[in-house]
Structure 1
Amino acid sequence: MKQPTFCGRELLLLSVIEAARAGDPLAVERVLRYYEGYMDKLCTRTLYDLDGSPRVRVDEYMKRRLQSRLIRAILNSPIE
């Protein structure tokens, strides 16, 4: 059977989502990797060096906060 896609990107399997909701650390890691590019885009900031030169970088602090919130949302979601 062919993997379902949305806008050309493969979707997460329902079994992975259910395993993550049950607390499987490998499944949670897979969900985090699935959303990594999106979180990187959300957390991209223009940071300035000591000499004032602008650098476009991922704000790692903000990314960790997003990852934490996603993990909490996964683990606190009701299992049907």
Structure 2
Amino acid sequence: MKQPSYKGFAPLSDAVIDAACAGDVDAIDRILRHYDGYINKLCVRKYIDGSGNVHYDVDEYMKRRLQIKLIHSIVVTIE
């Protein structure tokens, strides 16, 4: 049977999710890396410099906040 995937990415295994919920730092890091592209896409902002040129860049502050919310949602399931 074919392994399910979304845009070429395999889903996170249940073992990784269970380990993250148990507090394993490596598993939490793996989940953060898995969702890194999606979080980056959510955090893209449009900047206009002094010359009027438009630039798109990742807002690092917003990215950190979303990562913290993701970690918090994982840790809350422990309690």
With the length of structure 2 as denominator, give the TM-score of the two structures.
0.86
Quick check: which one's strand share is greater? 1
Cα offset, 1:10, TM superposition: 0.2
Which residue of structure 1 aligns with residue 36 of structure 2? 36
Q: 1:71 to 1:3 in 2, by over 3 A?
A: farther
Give the 5 Å matches for 1:1-80: 4-7=3-6, 8-78=8-78
Aligned-pair identity (%): 45
Cα offset, 1:78, TM superposition: 4.8
In structure 1, stretches of 5+ residues that fail to align are: none
8 Å Cα contact 1:4-1:11 kept in structure 2: no
Letter in 2 for 1:27: A
Q: Deviation per CA, 1:31-64: give whole Å up to 9, x if none.
A: 0000000000000110122443221000110000
In structure 2, stretches of 5+ residues that fail to align are: none
CA-atom RMSD, angstroms? 2.0
8 Å Cα contact 2:45-2:56 kept in structure 1: yes
Q: 1:21 to 1:39 in 2, by over 3 A?
A: same
Paired residues, number:
78
Counterpart CA distance in 1 for 2:54 and 2:22 is 43
Q: 1:75 to 1:47 in 2, by over 3 A?
A: same
With the length of structure 1 as denominator, give the TM-score of the two structures.
0.85
